[in-house]
Structure 1
Amino acid sequence: MTHTVREGYTGSGPGAITPDGCPVELYLRLPVGDEPDIVERAAPAGAGVLELGCGPGRITRPLLRRGFTVTAVDESPEMLEHIHGARTVCSPIETLELDERFDVVLLASFLVHAAGPGVRDGLLRACRRHVADDGCVLIQREAADRHEDLPKEREIEGGLIRVVSSDPVRPGVRSVHVECVFPDARWTQTFLSCPLTDEEFERALAQAGLVVDGYLTEDRTWARARPV
């Protein structure tokens, strides 16, 4: 069954679908990558981390094992049901208002590319509101070739993820369609993405009161920002 969620965002397949089209049961199967290693290298040991858009805890769990204290935020209660050992907050990122600030704010999963009127600015301003004056914001970006040479696919444990298409829908915004196939289930997800050059990315941060402190990976897909 196909579930219609936000305009431009859809998901299909077994189980709950979040407002931005993410199939919860699919995200439970996705393996963790090098995200915890990147956070560990960029953040003070044992830091308090505000993880924005945590999903079902793919990154949360390894951060907890490494001694970080995590506050996990997601707008989907179905995602948060799978978080254990961390404080959870059910809220859209843009409207999050916690009366505290954190050593590290984590905005992973390419959320900085989210489309919609004022969405990216809202995400980055939430980062700025919640980062300590001497803290940092860690942001995951799309690779420069993410929307090129499609379709392309990669194998994960037990399944296959295929980026089928990335089509322009209006200036600066693309509609990306992904299929995830396992022997026992198949999911699809369609979402909007705003590709950003380094200059556009840094300008968006500056408008939110943040400045890039450095790029953490050779492909520049991870950046550390500081409050101005």
Structure 2
Amino acid sequence: MTTATQTHEPTWERLPAPYPDLVIAPDEPFPALAHLSLRLKTYRHLLATRVAGPAGRSLLDLGAGPGHFARIASRQGFAVTAVDAREPWTLTGQTSARQIREYDFVQMDLRKFDRLRDFDVIAMIGVIYHLPLEDQLGLLAACRGKVVIIDTEIYDPSAIAADRQHRFTRRTTAEGYAGADCLERGEVYSSHLNPSSFWFEEESFARAIADLGFPRVTVLDPPYRSAFGPRRWYVLDG
């Protein structure tokens, strides 16, 4: 089991979200493409304003999926390595044909990737909530000393649609973190291999960051809404 000792409370900076959230009609399907566009714009903004660096600065994209975020980082001057257990795929969920890419791609379970220390910035966009708790804590602990960009779901049972509630089992972990176990669905937008994952409640995720020893944290306010409720951007420094 991964353990951590809290040494001091990190310095928190709350910045306004650069773009307004989507207006979602309750009687219409969730606008997945517009939601992705918002996330891409926000990521581009964070790279340009929060972790801007000289051309060639190295960035690791863990759980890169189709590669949208890896391409954005590459076009902003980062030398990007993207890691995913699956080949990059298209928005329809189909595996894409191999093509010349703007970044290096490593097909591997991100939990087995052991070169985290080689990179200046580590991006975890839409991925850590697809991991069991111990894997999340271990991965974040291994990233101490780096700039870490996180986009993650936050567990809020009141925001989850009734037809999705069955996938979540609320619990408090042995470490005292509140959240829920989520049943994964085994598709490309889901986890690789593990049948369930852990979603933190917001206060517990903040405590986990502190427990892991990150000295500075930036969070964008307010959260934006996904198909499952609130979703947050964090930047962890060191």
TM-score by length of 2: 0.58
Q: Which amino acid aligns with 2:200?
A: L
- The CA deviation at 1:192 is 4.1
How do 1:1-228 residues align onto structure 2 when only pairs under 5 Å count? 31-32=36-37, 33=39, 34=41, 35-45=43-53, 46=55, 47-77=57-87, 79=89, 81=98, 84-98=101-115, 100-109=117-126, 111-116=127-132, 118-128=134-144, 133=145, 135-143=146-154, 145=156, 148-150=159-161, 164-167=163-166, 168-169=168-169, 171=171, 172-175=179-182, 192-219=196-223, 221-227=232-238
SS in 2 for 1:76: coil
**Percent identity over paired residues:** 25
* Structure 2 contact 63–83 (Cα < 8 Å) conserved: yes
Distance in 2, Cα, partners of 1:188 & 1:100? 27
Displacement, 1:53? Answer: 0.6
Which consecutive unaligned segments of at least 5 residues does structure 1 have?
A: 1-26, 152-163, 179-186
1:51–1:106 Cα contact (<8 Å) kept: yes
Distance 1:63 1:206, change over 3 A: same
- 2:51 & 2:81 partners in 1: Cα distance? 15
Larger fraction in helix: 2
CA RMSD of aligned residues (A): 3.7
Unaligned runs of 5+ in 2: 1-31, 90-95, 172-178, 224-230
Q: Name which structure has the greater RCO, CA cutoff 8 Å, separation 6+.
A: 2
- The amino acid of 2:134's aligned partner reads G
TM-score normalised by length of structure 1: 0.60
Aligned AA for 2:102?
A: G
Q: Tell me the residue number matched to 2:25.
A: none
